[in-house]
Structure 1
Amino acid sequence: MEGVRRWLQALERGLDRLYPPCCVLCGAPGEPPALDLCAGCRQDLPWLSRPCAGCGVPLPAGAVANDLCGDCLQARPCFDRVLAPLHYRFPVDRLITGFKFHRQLATGRVLGALLAEVADSRPEPLPELLLPVPLHPQRLRARGYNQATELARQLTSALPGVRIWHGLRRVRATSTQSGLDRAQRPGNVLGAFAVNGTLPARHVAVVDDVMTTGCTLDEIARVLKAAGVETVEAWATARTPPPPGSR
C-alpha cells in the first residue's frame, strides 16, 4: 500500500511539472499544500479563530479556548469534536458552491487539502476512519457525485493511515435543511441514516462540505454511537453560524 502511495505522489509531481497548478481564486501560481491556491489568497481566507468547543460555531471577540456557545451550555451535541477551520463567507462560499453544484473538483481538492493540513496539525489523534455524509441514491444520481466523498478521498491521500468507510447509508430522502425552520430541522433528519454492517473502528470522523446548523452531523453521531463508536468527530471545510437557539 505504501508503494502505491509513493507511486501516486510521484505521478502527481510529474503532472505538476507538465501542468503547473494555478490559484482557483486569482489565477496566480499555486503553492503547497493546497497547490491550486496561492499563498496570498490562502492567507486572506476567513479562518475561524474562535470556535465553540462543543459545536464549532464562531464565537464573538473575547472568547477563549474551550468556551461554549449558548446552545452547548444547555445541551452538548452527540459528536465529540468539530473541525471546521473556515467561516462560510466570501470567498469560501463561492468555492464550496462551485465544488458542490458545478463539478469544480479542483476546488474540492483545495478545500480537502486545507482541511487535511489543519487536521494533521492538531494535538488530538487522527480518527481511524472517515465517513462521508451520504446522499440519498436519488440525489446522488441527479448530481453524479457526492462532494463529501470527494473531500474524504482528498483527506485520506494527505493523512497516512486514515481510511474511508462507506458503511453509512442515507435510508430516507430528506428535505434540504436550509429550507426548514428551527423546529423542523431535527425531525427532518431523524431516522434518515443507518450503519451497514459492523464498524471496524472506535474513533471516526464524519465528513461534509459545510456545517450549518449541525443537525445532520448530530443525528449521524447519535446513530454511530448507538452502533458502538466511542469518539465521533464532525469535519467540514467551513462553519455557518446557526440561527440563535438552533443546532
Structure 2
Amino acid sequence: MNISSIFNRIFPPACLLCSARSTRPLCPGCLADLPWHRQPQCPQCALPTPDGQLCGACLKHPPAFDRTHAALTYAFPLDRMIPRLKYHGQLAIAPVLGECLAEAVGHAPRPDRLIAMPLHAQRIRERGFNHATEIARTVSRQLGLPLDLASCRRTRDTPPQMGLKHDARRRNVRGAFACSGEIQGQRIALIDDVMTTGTSLDELAATLKCAGACEVSCWVVARTLPPGH
C-alpha cells in the first residue's frame, strides 16, 4: 500500500464545500447545485439577454474579443471559493474551477492555444502563483489544448479592478499588456476567473489582435451579473 492510500484511509477525501466523503473535489450534490450559467445570453459578453441575442452594450461598443463562454454565475459559493483561491492560496480549488470551465466549453470551437490572464511579476511574487494559470492548466489537460505561458505579460502592476467604475477600470488597464509571441493568424482563448465588466479581457484581446491574432474568445469560470438578474 502506497503513502497516498494510507493517507486516504486515515483522512478520507472530502468535498471542498460540504465536507461529505467524496472521491472528487466536489461531491455530486454540490456540483449539481453550483450556479451554472446556462440562461440565454449575449454570445459576445455572456450577459443574459431575452433570446440569446447580442446585448445593447456589445452592439454599441463592440469589445475586441469575439465571444465569451462562462461556466458559472458569480454567486454563492463561487463568491467564497474564488477569493479563497486568489487571496488565501487554497490551490486545491483551482482544478475544481478548471474542470467546471472545461465542461462548459466542451462544445465550443477549439482555439489554437490557451492564454491565462497574466499577473504582474510583483503580484506573482506576493502570492506565489497566478490563479488564472492554475485554472488554465486543468482546462489545457482536460481538453488537450496547448497552454501558452510565454507570449503575453502584464507590463504594469495595476491596482485591483474591484470597486472601480467602468471608465476607471478601462483607464486602469489601458496599455497594461504586451505580447511578444508568434500568434499571427492564431485563434486564442483567454482564461480568467471572473468577468465583471470585461475591461481587462477586452484590453488583452485588443493587444493580441494588434499582434496578429485572428480571433480571441474569453473562457471564464464565472460571470458577474448586473443587479436584478
TM-score of the pair, normalised by structure 2 = 0.89
1:132/1:208 contact within 8 Å kept: yes
Find out whether 1:203 has 2:187 as its counterpart: yes
Summarize the Cα distance change of 1:165–1:139 in structure 2 as closer, same or farther, 3 Å threshold. closer
Q: What's the offset of the Cα at 1:238?
A: 0.2
Summarize the Cα distance change of 1:189–1:27 in structure 2 as closer, same or farther, 3 Å threshold. same
Summarize the Cα distance change of 1:173–1:188 in structure 2 as closer, same or farther, 3 Å threshold. same
1:129/1:165 contact within 8 Å kept: no
1:156/1:164 contact within 8 Å kept: no
1:153/1:164 contact within 8 Å kept: no
Q: Distance in 2 between matches of 1:200 and 1:153?
A: 23
Q: Percent identity?
A: 45
1:132/1:166 contact within 8 Å kept: no
Summarize the Cα distance change of 1:16–1:45 in structure 2 as closer, same or farther, 3 Å threshold. farther
SS in 1 for 2:92: helix
**Corresponding residue for residue 51 of structure 2:** 64
**Corresponding residue for residue 87 of structure 1:** 73
**Gaps spanning 5+ residues in structure 2: where?**
none
Q: Distance in 2 between matches of 1:116 and 1:134?
A: 19
SS in 2 for 1:56: coil
Q: Distance in 2 between matches of 1:146 and 1:128?
A: 22
1:128/1:201 contact within 8 Å kept: no
The superposition leaves residues 128-177 of structure 1 with CA deviations (integer Å, 9 ceiling, x where unpaired) of 21111111111111111100110111111111143333210101121211
**Corresponding residue for residue 43 of structure 1:** 32
Summarize the Cα distance change of 1:48–1:57 in structure 2 as closer, same or farther, 3 Å threshold. same
AA at the equivalent of 2:149: W
Find out whether 1:190 has 2:174 as its counterpart: yes
**Corresponding residue for residue 174 of structure 1:** 158
Q: Distance in 2 between matches of 1:52 and 1:125?
A: 17
Find out whether 1:30 has 2:16 as its counterpart: no
Find out whether 1:225 has 2:209 as its counterpart: yes
Q: Distance in 2 between matches of 1:125 and 1:27?
A: 36
Q: What's the offset of the Cα at 1:209?
A: 0.9
Instruction: Output the aligned Cα RMSD.
Output: 2.3
Summarize the Cα distance change of 1:157–1:223 in structure 2 as closer, same or farther, 3 Å threshold. same
Summarize the Cα distance change of 1:173–1:64 in structure 2 as closer, same or farther, 3 Å threshold. same
Q: Distance in 2 between matches of 1:111 and 1:184?
A: 28
SS in 2 for 1:157: helix
AA at the equivalent of 1:229: A
Q: What's the offset of the Cα at 1:42?
A: 1.1
Q: Distance in 2 between matches of 1:22 and 1:165?
A: 32
**Gaps spanning 5+ residues in structure 1: where?**
1-13
TM-score of the pair, normalised by structure 1 = 0.83
Q: Distance in 2 between matches of 1:16 and 1:127?
A: 38
AA at the equivalent of 2:55: C
